[in-house]
Structure 1
């Protein structure tokens, strides 16, 4: 009897210890849900408004072009996310009718002009119709080589696409260079580029929701460190369009963490990775010195974590080195939006209940949360709202213009703010 009691006490202790480690996630799910009375209302900038509301929707990521093309951003948008979301699990019944995603060039300096937004034409991508499937998530631009890297959640398996970007033409063009597939790239989400041939990629789940729905849900909410960050080294010669050689020279798992999502280089030696399920951003040293004095980007050493009071999605770093973190206060609210959008797409294609999902009424939204962080000043909340621009997934800032952009995973348009405070 004493032995059984000891085992039960040990199990209870382990359960309580686990619950304690998940206290921030549990608090967010309890306090930040409808009717949102526990959610603060924050807008720490001078003014902001939704733009491009009728031109783009479901924009997951954004990248500023602060070098050759001042005051412009690339937007990764996918109106087909309503019926094809391989991270959260939304799959339309008639998948052949799900529209492709798109990339846009947004010259926000000309935000009052009709031609501020241009669709980026994809050249040389696809071939057969099924191979032209395009559902972009994370994107990253390497300015010295003009290469654009895109995580594409293709219907026949997620992969990376590499494009050569030409933004000087009247119509911006992305010329397809190569598709990258690899056994380690099971669920690519975000990309951080070290050089034109070296990059880190997050796999958001070990168990993709399309193949393992129950295991994927358990992985999301129980938050075991099963998913990973991948280091890729590519063969530049094999990236030539006519080459048949394997473009992947090296591929290694370099870190394991729960639901690794957005990723960015904080500086030349530090990689920041959003761990969505752990409500934190993990900071890693790139290539720490080993005992023999050598170092390699294949090795990451955990430096610390930045806890946040929401579920972080994508992150970016502005010119001053400030880390911008966008995410979701309440995953249940975001899940309701995801499911309603799927039902509405099915209804549009004749196989769903539009009335039950409220497709013709007031749109369902999920709250947003955007914060910034520096080691010196700590965490500062910039935008928190439940009835404004919803489902924030990325925030980027043009320091020179004092202007920022927030994208919404399930939103129309983008939110643009103008800053008035001094950093």
Structure 2
């Protein structure tokens, strides 16, 4: 064999390997590609929520509307007074606390003008709010959670949240805030006074690795959290010096020289696309102290004082929602670009029996469960007291609920036609569990039909599905376009309450009587 022939065969082998790798990646991303280019409005039902056995009664659904609360920096306008006011439009995340008996909901009606993830990037000075719903009261409406002590001049664009229960009347709330100058986390202590929950601002957290592209958050303790970061290249980029530090901490000292590429929209878009394919997102473990210098001005350096962070999981395509299973056995994250839910087993423990977050190998090999939509937020539902735990169930009887976007064209169409009842983005919320056997989904548009296969033993089953348009369900008008957050209390005490929020929805959807 001549040297030329040998080289030719090597080149052919390398090309064949590259083609095979490309084909494998294309196969992995086939759902993403389909959802990026096809509409689901003609294929989805007007409205579907999982039905229950007859003896459990009918499922009742309604949209919950918070009353207009005057706020000079709010985006919405109270039709009665024509004054700026907060309301429950465009809600991103929802978290339920069965102990506290409440759901907290993050809403930002100005998302149509300020969206640090998708754009546009106009009017960042307008702000959103967090709302509280006493969901165990079947007729309750949400009320605004006043953030006492939070500087009036500061931006507030709430996204992902987490609640740390301290007692039946005390809790700590963590809220991701997509400010104009960079993403931060707001920390507040909640207390129930005369039957109403109030919040006292504690401090703001910032870190070039921990909050660079923060999206969702999971509390571990009063001063310890996990935060998902979507990617390095953002639609809205912080000052170049901070981006350089992020690159250096993620990829080493030589990476910071490429920071200037992320200050140019043409390069940012290409890098963001690449990160979504190869996995540029990460999960950060963040610790902090309560005592921190207060700042009347928005200042990233001040907010970074007393904050430490490092990455505990990497290579996540568009890391989004995050939750943790009972006993802190698994960290669950949504991968929007994959799309799917990733389960990372905790495999390093301290002598005290806690996860050893300082160990670089604290999280093991991930389990990937695909979703039939671009997964946005997730929540973990603990097992019921008498529930039988299946052998080899990684979740030990818990379930994961996830919501997301089954069609990017429909989502984009709604974003460009806010107010239209025809141009709506579809919604989909599912329950993910380990059954040990292959069972299907009975929704009108089955998750099985879109996924085409799941890891053995796992089931993805629809909780709610709609084309996004208004619909009359059991005599009541309901709507839920562009679903992005979901929470569920499937107990009798919790009234079987399922709550779904929508990125551009006029109001959250609450369904009660969903027990199974």
Q: For residues 55-86 of structure 1, what are the alpha-carbon distances to aligned partners after superposition, in whole Å with 9 as ceiling and x for unaligned?
A: 4111111111321x32x211111111111111
Aligned-pair distance for 1:41?
Answer: 6.8
Instruction: Please state how far the C-alpha of 1:308 moved relative to its aligned partner.
Output: 1.4
Match of 1:266 among 289, 313, 325: 325
Q: 2:107 aligns with which of 71, 77, 80?
A: 77
Let me know the Cα RMSD of the aligned residues: 2.9
Cα distance change on mapping 1:217 and 1:64 into 2, 3 Å: farther
Is the aligned partner of 1:329 residue 2:336?
Answer: no
TM-aligned CA deviation for residue 325 of structure 1: 0.8
Where does residue 282 of structure 1 map in the other structure? 342
SS at match of 1:167: strand
1:27 deviation in Å? 3.5
Q: 1:420 to 1:335 in 2, by over 3 A?
A: closer
SS, match of residue 278 in structure 1: coil
Deviation at 1:226, TM superposition (A): 1.0
Equivalent pair of 1:239/1:247 in contact (CA under 8 Å): yes
- The match for 2:156 is 134
Aligned-partner SS, 1:24:
helix
CA offset at residue 9 of structure 1?
A: 4.1
Q: Relative to structure 1, is the Cα distance of residues 232 and 142 closer, same or farther in structure 2, using a 3 angstrom cutoff? A: same
TM-score, with length taken from structure 2: 0.69
Instruction: State the Cα distance separating 1:153 from its structure 2 match.
Output: 0.5
| Residue of structure 2 in register with 1:253 after alignment | 311
Specify whether residues 41 and 217 from structure 1 end up closer, same or farther in structure 2 by C-alpha distance, changes over 3 A only.
farther
Distance 1:379 1:37 in 2: 19
Are the equivalent residues in 1 in contact too, given 2:498–2:510 (CA < 8 A)?
A: yes
Counterparts of 1:270 and 1:280 in 2: how far apart (Å)? Answer: 16
Q: Does 1:87 align with 2:114?
A: no
Give, in whole Å, the separation in 2 of the partners of 1:91 and 1:273: 27
Contact 2:206–2:304 (Cα < 8 Å) also in 1? no
Match of 1:100 in 2: 127
Question: In the alignment, is the contact (CA less than 8 A) between 1:47 and 1:419 conserved in 2?
Answer: yes
The structure that is strand-richer by fraction is: 1
Aligned to 1:382: 463
**Partner Cα distance (1:217, 1:90) in 2:** 18
Partner of 1:13: 20
What is the CA-CA distance between 1:270 and the residue it aligns to? 1.0
Indicate whether 1:223 and 2:277 are aligned.
Answer: yes
Gaps of 5+ in 2: 52-57, 67-86, 238-261, 296-301, 384-397, 437-458, 470-478
Rg bigger for which structure? Answer: 2
* SS state at 1:85 partner: coil
The change in CA–CA distance for 1:226 and 1:407 in structure 2 (over 3 A counts) is same
Distance 1:405-1:295 versus aligned 2 partners, 3 A rule: closer
Number of the residue aligned with 2:445: none
1:417 has 2:511 as partner: yes
Residues 387-407 of structure 1 show CA distances to partners (whole Å, capped at 9, x for unaligned) of: 341111111112232111111
Is 1:110 matched with 2:187? no
Secondary structure, aligned partner of 2:156? coil
8 Å Cα contact 2:325/2:382 also seen in 1: no
User: 1:114-136: per-residue Cα shift (whole Å, max 9, x none)?
Assistant: xx321111111115x2xx21000
Indicate yes or no: 2:76 matched with 1:44.
no
Name the structure 2 match of 1:28: 35
* CA-CA distance at 1:157 after TM superposition: 1.3
Match of 1:306 among 369, 381, 397: 369
- Separation in 2, partners of 1:275, 1:323: 14
Matches of 1:88 and 1:137, distance apart in 2: 13
Q: Could you say which residue in structure 2 is the equivalent of 1:64?
A: 96
8 Å CA contact retained: 2:41, 2:425 = no
Unaligned ranges ≥5, structure 1? 342-358
Residue 122 (structure 1) aligns with: 147
CA distance, structure 2, for counterparts of residue 294 and residue 147 of structure 1:
20
Q: Using the TM superposition, give the Cα deviation of residue 8 of structure 1 relative to its aligned residue in structure 2, in angstroms.
A: 4.7
SS where residue 219 of structure 1 aligns?
Answer: helix
**1 CA distance for matches of 2:377 and 2:303?**
33
**Preserved contact between residue 42 and residue 383 of structure 1 (Cα < 8 Å):** yes
- Secondary structure of 1:18's aligned partner: helix
> How far apart, in 2, do the equivalents of 1:66 and 1:411 lie?
25
